[in-house]
Amino acid sequence: MPLLRLRDGAELFYKDWGNPEGAIVTFSHGWPLSSDNWENQMAFLGEQGFRCIAHDRRGHGRSTQTWHGNDMDTFVDDLKELFEHLDIKDAVMVGHSHGGGEVTRFLGKHGTGRVRKAVLVGAVPPLMLKTAANPEGTDKAVFDSFRDAMRRDRAQFFLDVATGPFYNFNREGAPRSEGQIRSWWQQGMNTSFKTAYDCIKDFSETDFTDDLKKINIPVLVLHGDDDQVVPFGASGEKSAKLLPQGKLKIYGGGSHAIHNINVDEVNADLLDFVRS
């Protein structure tokens, strides 16, 4: 099992799939999941000759369950170590939800020297939290309710998220996948309670506005207009306008998990973007 020992002794699990000599595409997963959430995209692009690399953020999946460091700056410093360890260059970075925040902060903090393009999928930037300067955001009470639900019964809360708003399985007539639900729940429960709890603050209160403005490479923003978790009007739409070279594609009726539900369409969009 490939593991990178980080500067503080924590171990970071990563996958390295596809053609070892191929152009590199990296994947950053959402909350509270793992690199497994990207398997459809990694398998597809790997079959097209790309080298696909994805990691489990610290506290998630098969990486060390650290007590401290469950914050965006630590996460992107970990990712920088992975890029250096694998000598990743000319990569396309892809991030979903909280992982889209990771991609954005990585590029804002560490620059674009090793990256040529990026893709944000249902991503949390610029800022999820409702503030005076961000009236389109979500009330803090919503995120407080997440924390309360975790403390009452994390297992049931994670099941409720997966059966409901994450995939839009709560929409009338929506086809429901029991397998997707079980996969989400399993990934979530494999994440440290402390990490999952701390990351509610991290994904909801981290402001990525300045990071977006700094990114000087092409960025494709993919977002469902029926995203119940990260509403389009407060995120994808605003991010595309803040990015110097942002390009937006809206998935009509799309959920927060378009890469899991609209698999063929997302794969085609990724392939077209990384090849161009």
- Given this model, what pLDDT does residue 178 score? 97
pTM over 0.85: yes
Q: Work out the pLDDT band at 101, boundaries 50, 70, 90.
A: very high
Residue ranges covered by each domain of the chain? 3-275
Report the C-alpha gap between 41 and 101 in whole angstroms.
19
Report the C-alpha gap between 129 and 205 in whole angstroms.
6
pLDDT at 1 over 90: no
Which DSSP letter does residue 254 get?
A: -
Report the C-alpha gap between 252 and 240 in whole angstroms.
17
Average pLDDT over residues 29-58: 98
Average pLDDT over residues 36-54: 98
* Alpha-carbon dihedral angle through residues 236, 238, 240, 242, given to the nearest 10 degrees: -140
**pLDDT tens digits, 212-222:** 999 999 999 99
pLDDT averaged over the chain?
98
The catalytic residue positions are 97, 227, 256
Q: Which two tokens stand for residue 37?
A: 């959430």
- Reported as type and span, the H/E element at residue 220 is strand 219-224
Q: Which CATH architecture has domain 3-275?
A: 3-Layer(aba) Sandwich (3.40)
